[in-house]
Amino acid sequence: MATKVTKRLEAVAGFLFIAPNLLGFIVFIAYPLIASLLISFTDWSLLTPPVGAGLRNYADLRIDTHFWISLRNTVVFTFTSVPLRIIIALFLAVLLNQKIRAIGFFRTVYFLPVVCSMVSIAMMWQWLLEYNTGLINYMLSWAGIERIRWLSSTQWAMASVVMVAVWSSTGYNMVIFLAALQGVPRELLEAARIDGANNWKTFWHVTFPCISPATYFVTVTSIIGSFQVFDVTTVLTAGGPGLATNTLVMLIYQNAFQNFRMGYASAIAYVLFGFIFVLTVQQNILSKKWMHY
């Protein structure tokens, strides 16, 4: 029964409804996206007008050791922390799903770090990991292990960062996995049990496929989030010692707001985007192979 007038009305209403959102989208996503690309083709220090530089920024990136170190750190961080986060979270979720009494209590406790800012978490852990008076080294001494320079040695700085990141975010993934586990159809589990499958087989062939959407979601968000790591490395180790824990986003920040090289920083940002894009697409392709109900 939609006459021309009502169709018109609907269109107008539609635009009105999306107007604030669309405005925000254009100003704060579309414009920066394009502007950033354009700026990456310039040399711009904000004090002087931008100077066109073609692809020079990208060429400079290829020979910039800071860039490669930061990239390596970011990749190492991502590919150590993400699997840990997922596996530990899944493990805990499976345990919690076993109809134990205090499920709410445990869920709260595990989720607690998630609501705290990374800055505060990093402060707490900086004290915990302190060489002389930190609790962690103290506990190591109970086991007769020598104290470790967690935050000031190049070998252990990244491990510390990964540890803190995993500690603070596992609860988040765990909650998602728990919800997914609770959605696995009872009949399937019972059918597997009747067919004689033991716990491990049931998990691997029934439960795990059923929660694959959640696994995919957790994996993708964890990877994207890890690639953008900034807070924990800035506050816990200040990117150090030296550049041992400097990350890509830190590099963007340093180039834009400390070295005032806007063009260069934008180029790094686009490279970061490129990595995330590739990884996400790859995950997408992989998931199509796994996802089945």
Partner 1 sequence: MDISYDTIQLQRRRFSWGPMALYIILGLGGVTMVLPFLWTLLTALKTFSEIMTNPYGLPRQWVWSNFIEVFRVVPFLLYFANTLKITAVCTIGTVATSAIAAYAFARLRFPGREVIFMCYLGTLMIPRQITLVPTFLLMKWLGLLDNHLSLILPGLFSAYGTFLLRQFFLTIPYELEEAAIVDGCGYVRRFVKIILPLAKPALATLGVIALIGNWNDFLHPLIFLNSEAKRTLTLGLAIFRGDVDIQWNLLMAATLLAILPMVAAFLLAQRFFVEGIALSGIKG
* Dist CA 199 CA 195 (whole Å): 12
- On the CB side of 193, how many CA atoms lie within 13 Å of its CA? 5
Site for partner 1 in 36-65 (CB under 8 A): 36, 39
Q: Is residue 269 within 8 Å of residue 40, measured between CB atoms?
A: yes
Site for partner 1 in 157-186 (CB under 8 A): 167, 171-172, 175-180, 183
- DSSP run (H or E) holding 262: helix 262-290
Site for partner 1 in 202-231 (CB under 8 A): 213-214, 217-218, 221, 224, 227-228, 230-231
Site size with partner 1, rule: CB under 8 A: 92
CB of 253 to partner 1, least distance (A): 7
Q: Which is nearer to partner 1, 13 or 87 (CB)?
A: 13
Contacts of 120 (CB under 8 A, 6+ apart): none
> According to the binding rule CB under 8 A, does residue 71 interact with partner 1?
no
CB of 187 to partner 1, least distance (A): 20
Site for partner 1 in 221-280 (CB under 8 A): 221, 224, 227-228, 230-231, 234-235, 249, 252-253, 256-257, 262, 265-266, 269-270, 272-273, 276-277, 280
Q: Which is nearer to partner 1, 59 or 179 (CB)?
A: 179
Residue 45 CA, distance from chain mean position? 30
Site for partner 1 in 77-136 (CB under 8 A): 92, 95-96, 98, 100, 104, 106-120, 123-125, 127-128, 130, 132-133, 135
Q: Which is nearer to partner 1, 192 or 248 (CB)?
A: 248
Site for partner 1 in 5-24 (CB under 8 A): 7, 10-15, 17-18, 20-22, 24
CB of 238 to partner 1, least distance (A): 9
Phi, psi of 43 (to 5 degrees): -105, 120
CB of 243 to partner 1, least distance (A): 18
* Dist CA 255 CA 70 (whole Å): 12
* Dist CA 227 CA 272 (whole Å): 8
Q: Which is nearer to partner 1, 3 or 132 (CB)?
A: 132
Q: Which is nearer to partner 1, 22 or 59 (CB)?
A: 22
Q: Which is nearer to partner 1, 42 or 80 (CB)?
A: 42
What torsion, rounded to 10 degrees, do the Cα atoms 238, 240, 243, 248 define? -40
CB of 205 to partner 1, least distance (A): 21
Phi, psi of 292 (to 5 degrees): -155, 155
Q: What is the C-alpha R_g of the chain?
A: 24
* Dist CA 246 CA 239 (whole Å): 4
Which residues are bridge partners to 43 per DSSP? Answer: 51
Angle at 222 (CA atoms; ends 216, 223), nearest 5 degrees: 90
